[in-house]
Chain A
Amino acid sequence: DTAVSQTPKYLVTQMGNDKSIKCEQNLGHDTMYWYKQDSKKFLKIMFSYNNKELIINETVPNRFSPKSPDKAHLNLHINSLELGDSAVYFCASSQGDRGAQHFGDGTRLSIL
């Protein structure tokens, strides 16, 4: 019954690898997001999609590529992982861009 679920919860990998994080929401929302939370707990938006269309693309390296196969899913693929990519990544969804955003539990990515 989880509203916004993301997998995996933990991801430990080597520098240079490629990895993906999946996100699914069952709230019927039309907008989904990816956020990055750094070690100081600062939360910053990376991407947002509305009905599978990219709306926001912050200044994120192009090694990060979101993909939305349908409005209930927004996956994040990261190529050539770097040490600085270590963070917690949160997926969120909302109804419209100003609706209350509901977050997944986060994926803690650690680069060795």
Chain B
Amino acid sequence: AQKVTQAQTEISVVEKEDVTLDCVYETLDTTYYLFWYKQPPSGELVFLIRRNSFDEQNEISGRYSWNFQKSTSSFNFTITASQVVDSAVYFCALWCYNTDKLIFGTGTRLQVFP
């Protein structure tokens, strides 16, 4: 069965701290895609990144970086030098060829305090 686990329900940090959001996935498929989405307090869902199962290269985009490790079935997200505007709920999601749909984790609420 396909599953996404975000064990951290809520994380609080002070501005400028680095923070890592964990994501562990389960699938028996060899072809799959992993995603991260951000949901700020205003409620919209913002696409951040998509990574396919054959590309384990880590990615950096500004203060955001993602670490994909197939050996531990993890796709963790790190925000460097966090800012108050990073406060949001972050969702990790998995798309599998077998199920043909996007399965979301339960989300991690990140609060960044000034």
Contacts and interface: CB of A to CB of B under 8 A. Distances in A.
A-B CB proximity, top 3 nearest: A103-B45, A43-B104, A105-B44
B35 A41 contact: no
A97 interface: yes
B16 interface: no
Interface residues of A, number: 24
Given A43-B91, A98-B33, A106-B43, 5 more contacts: A44-B104, A101-B35, A101-B47, A101-B102, A106-B44
B106 A42 contact: yes
Contacts of B104: 42-44
B63 interface: no
Nearest to A106: B43
Given A98-B33, A98-B95, A45 B101 contact: yes
By secondary structure, the A interface counts as: strand
17 contacts: A33-B102, A41-B106, A41-B107, A43-B91, A43-B104, A43-B107, A44-B104, A48-B101, A56-B100, A88-B43, A98-B33, A98-B95, A100-B47, A102-B47, A103-B37, A103-B45, A106-B45
Interface in A78-112: 88, 90, 92, 97-106, 108
B88 to A, nearest CB: 11
A100 B35 contact: yes
A89 B100 CA distance: 20
Nearest to B35: A100
Interface string A55-83: 11000000000000000000000000000
